[in-house]
Amino acid sequence: MFVTGIFRKGVQGAAVLATVSAVVLGYFLGQLPLSAMLYWHCQRNGCSEEQWEQFRHSMDFAVLGLDIRYALVGVLLVFVIALMFFHAAVRRFHRAEFRVVLTGAERFRWGRFAFGFGLWIVLAGIGELLTYFFTGQSYQWQYDPASFWSVVVIALSLLPMQVLFEEAFVRGYLLQWFSVVSGYAWLGVLLSSMVFAGLHGMNPEVGQFGVWTMMAYYFTVGVFLAVLAVIDDGLEQAIGIHLATNVFGALFVSYEGSALKTPALWKLTNVDIASMYMGFVLLAFVYLVVSGWFFGSQWKWVHLFLPLRRFIRG
């Protein structure tokens, strides 16, 4: 059972503390390459106090004159290093295979991952077309071959690591921990989704569109992916959806205030955040209907409400 996963033999407080500490350490050490990059860049080119002030508010590396491709590599390396520390902590402190924070199956189900990625990319494209035709929002074509193809390579090589870390740690490890400690997966879903929203609290979208609006959006995304993970007995579809979202935003449609500021093919120049929120809810509903058509007979909705303590050994 995925929802008990790494804690199926009981919760060891020391192992949890050591694992979370390792992840925090890895996350902060992961910021050293980006910090060194910024230091070197500003030493060489000069960065004024005014530029730093603008950067703190916008988190836009272009304000400092740093090439977005270098900045993207630096940002994503944070998650790569954090993932390495998390993987090592799971093996060292829990004496477990990393697979147990990803799936309840015997092995990672690549078919489900591909299904989630492919279907969500298609739905996101359809949603973007509907937004263009029915809301009057403005799209600006900004294709620059050199920048775009560089970002394609960066995105396809590093974004999977960023997504894998967030999903495995938040909707794998923490969801399982919250669920086992509380005794119910639905509580694990809510608590891990709160953490997911909180971890995105420093994203530039929060300053651009408002704290409560974006926290509600992130929380809703978290609940959708967490529920899907619990009923499907694994993170495969959730990882596919998350990766599709980030790839779509990095390569196809970006917007002012986005956490992933990239030279995507189009830039959305005026964002209606209410439409974006409602659009996500609609896409999530359609996804559950289509996914349920293929996998619904294997879904375990009962796992959301079962008292989990009866499944814990030790």
Residue 314 has pLDDT above 60, yes or no: no
**What value does the mean pLDDT of the chain take?**
91
171: left (phi over 0), alpha (psi -120 to 50) or beta: alpha
Host domain of residue 295: 5-311
Write the pLDDT tens digit of every residue in 124-151. Answer: 999 988 888 876 668 889 899 989 999 9
Number of domains in the chain: 1
pLDDT score recorded for residue 313: 63
Instruction: Quote the pLDDT of residue 267.
Output: 87
Query: What confidence score (pLDDT) does residue 174 get?
Result: 98
pTM of the model: 0.94
143-147, 177-181, 186-190: which range is least confident on average?
Answer: 143-147
At 207, the pLDDT band (50, 70, 90 cuts) reads: confident
Sheet holding 139-141, edge to edge: 139-141, 266-268, 253-255
| CA separation, residue 298 to residues 231, 284, 292, 294 (Å) | 8, 19, 9, 9
